[in-house]
């Protein structure tokens, strides 16, 4: 999986190669052992502010899915601290904030109050967040 991510991160990679890498990274990430997910998640956030917006949403959802899900040791915590003062850290913090603001919109409404359509789509991805998934994701965001 890290080899795919390395290819994605190379500046010489074409857009089609990056799309391929993101798609297969997402599929591979879900199949990793839980400890490995937790240690890789912060690595995905490095230079995320330079990624296309549609890739940012996928990557942020992967990272937040593993954020604080398991015990965060000093090595993993240092990876998160490394992006704190950067645009990557600001983007991740903004995504966490939008996740906390997200509420399932009433039926027939486009997006929840307080979020734009783009922000709501970034938080939810392809499927609307409901019930256990939404509660679980919000509980991982603790400041």
Is the model more confident about 51 or about 114?
51
**pTM listed for this prediction:** 0.78
Instruction: Delimit the domains of the chain by residue range.
Output: 2-140
% of the chain residues with pLDDT over 70: 82
Of 42, 77, 36, 68, the residue nearest 139 (C-alpha) = 68
Inter-residue contact 102 to 120 (CB < 8 Å): yes
Q: What is the CA radius of gyration of the chain?
A: 15
pLDDT at residue 129, as a whole number: 61
Mean pLDDT (the chain, rounded) = 83
pLDDT at residue 52, as a whole number: 92
Of 44, 54, 142, the residue nearest 88 (C-alpha) = 44
pLDDT digits (tens, 9 = 90+) for 32-90: 888 888 888 889 999 999 999 999 999 998 888 766 566 778 888 898 889 988 999 99
Of 43-47, 89-93, 113-117, give the lowest mean pLDDT range: 113-117
């Amino acid at each position: 999986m890290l080899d795919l991510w390395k290819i994605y991160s190379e500046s010489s990679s074409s857009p089609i190669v990056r799309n391929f890498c993101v798609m297969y990274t997402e599929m591979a990430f879900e199949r990793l052992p839980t400890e490995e997910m937790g240690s890789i998640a912060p690595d995905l956030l490095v230079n995320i502010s330079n990624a296309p917006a549609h890739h940012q949403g996928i990557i942020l959802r992967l990272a937040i899915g593993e954020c604080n899900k398991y015990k965060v040791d000093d090595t993993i915590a240092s990876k998160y601290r490394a992006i704190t003062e950067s645009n990557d850290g600001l983007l991740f913090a903004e995504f966490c904030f939008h996740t906390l603001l997200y509420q399932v919109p009433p039926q027939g409404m486009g997006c929840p109050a307080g979020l734009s359509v783009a922000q709501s789509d970034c938080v939810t991805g392809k499927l609307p967040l409901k019930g256990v998934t939404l509660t679980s994701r919000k509980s991982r965001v603790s400041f």
